C-alpha cells in the first residue's frame, strides 16, 4: 500500500508539472571564494563532492568558466545583471558597510526580469551589494527586496565583517534596520553557533521555497557565505573530510546540494528546473602562508586551490576568475555534456531570460551572451556569439586584461600577494598568453604577435567606448 501511495503521488506530481521548456525554474548556487580545484570533478584527491559529480555526469560541465570579477561585490553585480562590473558605478570591487553606493535601482537583475514573467523569487544567502547606512540615508534600495526578490534570508556582507555583518530576513514588519526587514542575529562574526549553521539554514530555506512554490515558476539564488574565511561547519560535518575543516565545509555544501536535488525530484519538478553551480571568484590565497590569524585561525589550511591556474581571489590572473561551472537540467541538457568553449556568469541573465521568454533590459549594454545552443543544440538551434571577456579588478574595477578566443592580453597586473611572478606589463608593452595551451600563464607570446595584440586591444577599445558613451546609473 505504501508503494502504491508513493507511486500515485509521483504520478500526480508529474501530471501537474509544466512542460520542461515552459518557464523553467532556475536555481543559481554561488559559493564564496571556492577554488577551481576544490571539487572531485576537477581533480581534488581528498574533497568528496559526489552530488556535484552527479550533476556533471547528468548535465553540462564548463571547464572554461569565469566569474565576472575576482572579488565578491563586483562578481555578484555581474552575475545578477549580465554586465561587466565596471558599469556598476561602485568605484570599487567590494562594498563596505559604510559605503554610500549599492546596486542601483535602475539596474535590472535576474530576479526582476523573472518576476515580470510571473516567477516567485528568493535569495538565501549573502547579498553584499549594499547596506543601509547614514551615507545613503538608510535607503531600502540597498537591500535585496528592492531588486526583484520576494524573500531574503542572509547576511548583508561577508560574515567576517565585525561588527557590521548581520543575519537578516525580509519581508518583515519588524522594520529593522530599515522598513521591510528584520535582524535575526547581530554581529555574527562573533557568534560561532550562528556561523556554523549558516549553510544548512540557507539550504533549509531554499528547500522550503521549492516545496512551497512547486506549482509555479520560481527563481532561487542560493549564496552560501562559505568557504570564505572564517570557515565554519556544524558538528555533524566536523572531521568528515580528509582535507580537514576546509574539506568539511565543501562537503557540507555538497550534501545540501544533494538535498536540493532530492527535493526537486520528490516534488516531480526536476525536469522543470535548471540548476547552475559556480563560485564568485577564486580562493583567497592572500592568506596562504598565514599560520595564525586572530579571526581566521590557521588560515593557510582554510583556503582552497585554484590549480592549475595562477594566483587567486583579487587577481586577474586566471586563478582569480576561473571557477567551476556546472549546469544541470535533466531531460533538457544531455548527460555528460562538456562545453569546451569559454563562458561566464555574465551569460546567465541573457540565457535565463531567453528560456523564460523575458525581453532583455533596454537602455543599457549587456556584456553576457545567450548560450542556450551550448546546452542542447537540437532544442535550441543557432550559434552562440563568440566569447570575449574584459577582466576588471585592482580594487577599483580597473581594466586589467582581455580574452578573445584562446588568447589573453594583460595590460595591468595585480595580486593581493604582491607577487607579479617575474612579469611586468603595460598598455604599451602588454603580456600575451594562449590560456588554452598555457592555462597557468607561464609563456608570454607577445613577441611577434602584434596583430593579435591589436585585435585584443580593439576589444578593450570598444568596451571603453561603450562605457564612455553610457556611463553608469550613478553618473
Catalytic residues: 72, 128
Per-residue 3-state assignment (H helix, E strand, C coil) for the chain: CHHHHHHHHHHHHHHHCCCCCCCCEEEEEEECCCCCCCCHHHCCCCCCCHHHHHHHHHCEECCCEECCCCCHHHHHHHHHHCCCHHHCCCCCCCCCCCCCCCCCCCCCCHHHHHHHCCCEEEEEECCCCCCCCHHHCCCHHHCHHHHCCCEEEEECCCCCCCCCCCEEEEEECCCCCCCEEEEEECCHHHCHHHHHCHHHHHHHHHHHHHHHCCCCCEEEEEECCCCCCCCCCCHHHCCCCCCCHHHHHHHHHHHHHHHHHHHHHHCCCHHHEEEEEEECCCCCHHHCCCCCECCCECHHHCCCCCCCCCCCCCCCCHHHHECCCEEECCCCCCCCEECCCCEEHHHHHHHHHHHHCCCCCCCCCCCCCCCHHHHCCCCCCCCCCCCEEEEEECCCCEEEEEEECCEEEECCCCCCCCCCCCCCCCCCCCEEEECCCCCCCCCCCCCCCHHHHHHHHHHHHHHHHHHHHHCCCCC
Amino acid at each position: 500500500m505504501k508503494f502504491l501511495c508513493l507511486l500515485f503521488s509521483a504520478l500526480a506530481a508529474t501530471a501537474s508539472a509544466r512542460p520542461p521548456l515552459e518557464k523553467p525554474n532556475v536555481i543559481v548556487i554561488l559559493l564564496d571564494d571556492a577554488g577551481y580545484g576544490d571539487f572531485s570533478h576537477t581533480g581534488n584527491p581528498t574533497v568528496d563532492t559526489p552530488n556535484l559529480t552527479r550533476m556533471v555526469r547528468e548535465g553540462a560541465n564548463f571547464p572554461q568558466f569565469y566569474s565576472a570579477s575576482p572579488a565578491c561585490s563586483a562578481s555578484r553585480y555581474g552575475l545578477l545583471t549580465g554586465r561587466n562590473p565596471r558599469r556598476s558605478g561602485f568605484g570599487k570591487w567590494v562594498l563596505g558597510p559604510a559605503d554610500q553606493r549599492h546596486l542601483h535601482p535602475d539596474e535590472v537583475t535576474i530576479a526582476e526580469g523573472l518576476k515580470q514573467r510571473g516567477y516567485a523569487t528568493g535569495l538565501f544567502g549573502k547579498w553584499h551589494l549594499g547596506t543601509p547606512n547614514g551615507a545613503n540615508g538608510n535607503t531600502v534600495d540597498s537591500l535585496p527586496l528592492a531588486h526583484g526578490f520576494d524573500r531574503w534570508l542572509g547576511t548583508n556582507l561577508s560574515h567576517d565583517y565585525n561588527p557590521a555583518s548581520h543575519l537578516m530576513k525580509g519581508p518583515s514588519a519588524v522594520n529593522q534596520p530599515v522598513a521591510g526587514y528584520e535582524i535575526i542575529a547581530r554581529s555574527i562574526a562573533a557568534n560561532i553557533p550562528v556561523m556554523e549553521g549558516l549553510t544548512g539554514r540557507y539550504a533549509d530555506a531554499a528547500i522550503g521555497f521549492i516545496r512551497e512554490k512547486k506549482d509555479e515558476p520560481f527563481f532561487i539564488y542560493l549564496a552560501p557565505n562559505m568557504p570564505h574565511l572564517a570557515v565554519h561547519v556544524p558538528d555533524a560535518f566536523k572531521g568528515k573530510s580528509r582535507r580537514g575543516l576546509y574539506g568539511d565545509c565543501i562537503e557540507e555544501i555538497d550534501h545540501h546540494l544533494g538535498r536540493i536535488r532530492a527535493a526537486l525530484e520528490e516534488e516531480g519538478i526536476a525536469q522543470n528546473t535548471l540548476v547552475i553551480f559556480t563560485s564568485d571568484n577564486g580562493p583567497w590565497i592572500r592568506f596562504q602562508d598565514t599560520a595564525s590569524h586572530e579571526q581566521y585561525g590557521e588560515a593557510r589550511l582554510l583556503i582552497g586551490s585554484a590549480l592549475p591556474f595562477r594566483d587567486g581571489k583579487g587577481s586577474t590572473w586566471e586563478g582569480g576568475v576561473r571557477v567551476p561551472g556546472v549546469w544541470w537540467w535533466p531531460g533538457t541538457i544531455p548527460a555528460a555534456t562538456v562545453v569546451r568553449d569559454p563562458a561566464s556568469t555574465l551569460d546567465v541573465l541573457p540565457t535565463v531570460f531567453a528560456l523564460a521568454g523575458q525581453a532583455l533590459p533596454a537602455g543599457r549594454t549587456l556584456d553576457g551572451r545567450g548560450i542556450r545552443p551550448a546546452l542542447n543544440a537540437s532544442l535550441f538551434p543557432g550559434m552562440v556569439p563568440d566569447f570575449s571577456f574584459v577582466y576588471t579588478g585592482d580594487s577599483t574595477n580597473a581594466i586589467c586584461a582581455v580574452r578573445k578566443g584562446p588568447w589573453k592580453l594583460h595590460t595591468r597586473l595585480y595580486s593581493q600577494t604582491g607577487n607579479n611572478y617575474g612579469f611586468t606589463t603595460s598598455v604599451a608593452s602588454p603580456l600575451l598568453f594562449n590560456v588554452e595551451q598555457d592555462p597557468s600563464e607561464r609563456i608570454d607570446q607577445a613577441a611577434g604577435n602584434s596583430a593579435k595584440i591589436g585585435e585584443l586591444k580593439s576589444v578593450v577599445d570598444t568596451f571603453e567606448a561603450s562605457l564612455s558613451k553610457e556611463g553608469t546609473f550613478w553618473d
